[in-house]
């Protein structure tokens, strides 16, 4: 057992941290302003000049595609990437994109890398790896509890050499961005097959006729344009060639599962980075703000919040890192309980810290003058992502009881 980072990771942590300080933090406001100035084009966040510049700079340093194992990516393990994801989470609107490590592109690239045909790779994976286009993953549906992927109802019917797709999706992150050129769409190809073999994943280019981007979903009052929003989509007799299926008909559920583990690690580590920045802001504000004759930092209740934040985040980080290590050493299946556990533990812990950071900032903490309320909104959605916490708790408890019965 060893809680230290290996030399490669330590180097990357140092380098990326320095890059954050020299390039990314100073660019946050610029990015925000360029997007606002873009008006109706605000969804096209990846076309902002500042992002283009930062990406070029990052890439020149080799800070690129950290998330992807193997030779196409940076060749890092989950455990090696995790602390880097944490660092990028400190500037979650900007940093992940700078390093071409932003969701949902990361998951889509992983899927294409692992399951795509050579043609699919050439057409979609290469430009994604180059950062030329963006993508979306269309799974969640408004009418079913989508945490159970077998509930998915979008219909994919084969008609000769084509699939005909009909149905609705919502909360499709990134899809409001016109540069999100390709959608991986999950649907049902064979309702009569065994329960986990009914679904398939199909590549649908954005401009395919019949695919309508209906509206942006909002989270609290935010449209999240800085990472492409969350679209509601309608598919009406959308046709794609059968060669657009990923892996095979019926493989949709399995691919979705494979995607889940790394995605969760990334989300959780970024959330921890965000929590760390919130703690820093809390300390800074507590030091700088005077009320009733002394700095907030001298008030016991506020110290209690700061101590609690530190105690909670230290425990949380270790569990996420251990989960990454398990995935690297025994695989996603062996890490199943831990993957559920971090899904349960992360959002609520970080939400609690953000709530206290907001409280220390006064009403301003809820406003556009600080990033705290927007972060809170983003973290709150994680309590639903991949299914509400309650589903995961229920499943984890059943496994715990079963384990005990078998002991």
Residues 2-21 interacting with a copy of itself (rule: CB under 8 A): 2-6, 9
The mark string for 323-342 relative to a copy of itself (x by CB under 8 A, - otherwise) is --xx--x-------xx--x-
Taking the complex as a whole, the smallest distance from the CB of residue 153 to a copy of itself amounts, in Å, to 13
Backbone angles phi, psi at 295, to 5 degrees: -60, 145
> Taking contact as CB under 8 A, which single stretch among the options 27-35, 174-182, 235-243, 374-382 is the one that binds a copy of itself?
374-382
**265 touches 323 (CB < 8 A):** yes
Which of 44, 171, 202, 195 lies closest to 108, judged by CA? 202
Window of 114-122, 188-196, 249-257, 302-310 that interacts with a copy of itself by CB under 8 A = 302-310
Residues numbered 157 to 176 that lie near a copy of itself (CB under 8 A) are 171
For residue 5, the SS3 value is coil
CA-nearest of 239, 124, 266, 98 to 183 is 124
Q: Does 303 bind a copy of itself (CB under 8 A)?
A: yes
* Min CB(4)–a copy of itself separation in Å: 6
Residues binding a copy of itself: number (CB under 8 A): 89
Tokens of 109: 């690239």
Pick from 47, 59, 212, 384 the residue near a copy of itself by CB under 8 A.
Answer: 384
Stretch that binds a copy of itself, among 36-44, 130-138, 160-168, 301-309 (CB under 8 A): 301-309
Q: What x/- string results for residues 227 through 266 when contact with a copy of itself is judged by CB under 8 A?
A: ----------------------------------------
Residue 260: is it exposed, middle or buried by C-beta count within 10 angstroms (0-12/13-18/19+)? middle
For the chain, what is the largest distance between any 2 Cα atoms, rounded to a whole number of angstroms? Answer: 78
Q: How far apart are CA 292 and CA 303, in angstroms?
A: 16
Our finding on whether 84 is near a copy of itself (CB under 8 A) is no
Q: Nearest distance from residue 159's CB to a copy of itself, in Å? A: 31
Going by C-alpha positions, the residue among 43, 198, 203 that lies closest to residue 137 is 203
Residues in 19-48 at the binding interface with a copy of itself, rule: CB under 8 A: none
Q: Which residue lies nearer to a copy of itself by CB, 251 or 339?
A: 339
In the numeric block, which tokens belong to residue 245? 């299926």
Interactions with a copy of itself, residue window 111-150 (CB under 8 A): 140, 142, 145, 147-148
- CA distances to 100, 219, 372, 375, 390 from 354, rounded to whole Å, are 26, 16, 6, 8, 22
Q: Find the binder of a copy of itself among 24, 111, 268, 302 (CB under 8 A).
A: 302
Binding segment for a copy of itself (CB under 8 A), chosen from 55-63, 119-127, 186-194, 369-377, is 369-377
- In the chain the first and final C-alpha atoms are separated, in Å, by 26
For residue 1, the minimal CB distance to a copy of itself (Å) is: 6
Closer CB to a copy of itself, 3 or 207, in the complex: 3
Phi, psi of 100, rounded to the nearest 5 degrees: 55, 45
Q: Which is nearer to a copy of itself, 181 or 392 (CB)?
A: 392
SS3 161: coil
Nearer to a copy of itself, 129 or 324 (CB): 324
Q: Which residues pair with 126 in a beta bridge?
A: none
Residues of this chain, 213-232, that bind a copy of itself according to CB under 8 A: 217-223
**What whole-number distance in Å separates Cα of residue 14 and Cα of residue 30?**
24
Report 270-289 residues binding a copy of itself (CB under 8 A).
279-280, 283-284, 286-287, 289
Q: Does 366 bind a copy of itself (CB under 8 A)?
A: yes
CB of 124 closer than 8 Å to CB of 246? no
CA distances from 405 to 53, 333, 396 (A): 58, 20, 14
């Amino acid at each position: 057992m060893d809680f230290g980072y290996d030399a490669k990771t330590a180097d990357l942590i140092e380098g990326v941290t320095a890059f954050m300080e020299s390039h990314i933090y100073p660019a946050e406001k610029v990015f925000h302003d360029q997007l606002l100035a873009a008006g109706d084009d605000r969804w096209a966040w990846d076309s902002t000049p500042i992002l283009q510049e930062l990406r070029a700079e990052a890439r020149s340093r080799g800070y690129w595609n950290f998330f992807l194992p193997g030779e196409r990516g940076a060749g890092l393990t989950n455990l090696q990437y995790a602390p880097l994801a944490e660092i990028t989470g400190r500037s979650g609107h900007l940093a992940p994109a700078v390093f071409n490590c932003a969701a949902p592109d990361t998951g889509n690239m992983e899927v294409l890398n692992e399951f795509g045909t050579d043609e699919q790779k050439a057409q979609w994976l290469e430009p994604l790896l180059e950062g030329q286009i963006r993508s979306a993953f269309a799974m969640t549906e408004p009418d079913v509890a989508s945490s159970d992927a077998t509930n998915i109802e979008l219909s994919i019917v084969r008609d000769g050499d084509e699939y005909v797709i009909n149905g609705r999706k919502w909360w499709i992150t990134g899809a409001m961005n016109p540069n999100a050129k390709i959608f991986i769409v999950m649907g049902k190809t064979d309702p009569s097959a065994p329960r986990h073999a009914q679904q398939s994943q199909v590549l649908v280019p954005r401009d395919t006729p019949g695919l309508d981007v209906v509206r942006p979903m909002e989270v609290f009052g935010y449209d999240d344009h800085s990472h492409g929003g969350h679209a509601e989509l309608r598919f009406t007799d959308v046709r794609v060639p059968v060669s657009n299926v990923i892996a095979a008909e019926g493989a949709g559920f399995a691919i979705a599962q494979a995607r889940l583990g790394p995605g969760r690690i990334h989300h959780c580590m970024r959330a921890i980075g965000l929590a760390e920045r919130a703690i820093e802001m809390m300390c800074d504000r507590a030091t700088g703000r005077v009320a009733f004759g002394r700095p907030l930092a001298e008030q016991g209740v506020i110290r209690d919040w700061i101590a609690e934040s530190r105690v909670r985040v230290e425990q949380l980080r270790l569990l996420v890192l251990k989960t990454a290590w398990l995935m690297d050493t025994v695989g996603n299946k062996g890490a199943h309980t831990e993957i559920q556990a971090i899904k349960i533990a992360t959002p609520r812990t970080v939400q609690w810290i953000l709530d206290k950071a907001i409280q220390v900032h006064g009403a301003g903490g809820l406003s556009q003058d600080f990033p705290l309320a927007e972060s809170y909104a983003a973290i709150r959605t994680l309590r639903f992502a991949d299914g509400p916490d309650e589903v995961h708790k229920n499943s984890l408890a059943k496994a715990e009881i079963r384990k005990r019965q078998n002991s």
